[in-house]
Chains A and B, each alone.
Chain A
Amino acid sequence: MVDFDPSIINKVFETTDPVPVSREKIAKFCETISEANPIFTDDEAAKKGPYGGIIAPPGFATTFRNGRHFFQHIPRFGKQGFDAGKDVEFVAPIRPGDEITLSSSVKEIYDKTGRTGTMVFVVIRSTLRNQKGEVVAHVDHRFMSRT
């Protein structure tokens, strides 16, 4: 059983400063993943699309970083940690002109023992809000360490 202070669960240690979203930033993101759908980059095509304007591709929601002090509050287990996966809930589209803040907390900590030993998983939930305070996404990051 992994040992940690349970009072850290769901505690928000830090909310980031707003990060502006520009069409250029969205276009660069599209370029790096070979995304060619014009609803993400072309005003005219996007206006005719379901969102009435340019939006960011869904994967863009995972590009926002935690504040530099956030990880000081997170317990570490074993050696180097790895990104084991993500769960993203898309609540509303992210658009150019939005300013996104990220509030993160530890959602859960658990361990699993398999053939290769014990692994500890720390799940960090980040909630993304736009400048109106509307939630645009929840991102659960699963980090895995071997003890």
Chain B
Amino acid sequence: MKFADVQIGTAIGPEEIFISKDQTRQYAHANHLPAARFTDDELAKKEGLPGMILPGNMSLALLAKLVTDWIADNPAKMVRLGTTYRVPVQPDRTLILQGFITNTYPETKQCEVDIWMENEDAEKLVTGTATVEFSQ
């Protein structure tokens, strides 16, 4: 895929991913995030949350993965990613990652992609925008 092949409206994903509580705890430990809301259901509930949640950076990393999976081995790289955390993301659930191309910029060979993470009820949990730059 080259920049000339990129079309506004093209879908990216969906990718389904199941993130376990153990995986979330491992992410938190590996990245020095000691807050109990990332590791313990009961303590998270005491903070008013529905249970333990994914760190925001972990959600960002999953959305980044959606974009790099789409880029695969094509001559392109992600140069920008912005995310907004709308609803706490809970582990032990299937998360759906998807997006679509919203703009192309021929002068810079860049395209803009709206991306989001939703749960199985189609509730948008995290939304974002990525910019991908092609070298060809």
Contact = CB atoms under 8 A, between A and B. Distances in A.
Task: Assign chain B's interface to a size class.
Answer: 20 to 34
Contacts, number: 86
Interface stretch (B5-13, B72-80, B108-116): B72-80
Contact of B68 (A28, A29, A37): A37
Contact of A63 (B31, B65, B73, B77): B31
Task: Assign chain A's interface to a size class.
Answer: 20 to 34
> What's the dominant secondary structure at chain A's contact region?
mixed
A1 interface: no
B109 to A, nearest CB: 15
Contact of B57 (A31, A34, A63, A80): A63
A31 B27 CA distance: 9
Nearest to A82: B85
B46 interface: no
Interface of A: 25, 28-29, 31-35, 37, 49-50, 57-60, 62-63, 65, 80, 82-90
28 contacts: A28-B26, A29-B31, A29-B61, A31-B26, A32-B23, A32-B30, A33-B61, A34-B17, A35-B65, A37-B68, A37-B69, A57-B65, A58-B64, A59-B60, A60-B61, A62-B57, A62-B60, A62-B61, A83-B85, A85-B82, A85-B85, A86-B60, A86-B82, A87-B80, A87-B82, A88-B81, A89-B80, A90-B77
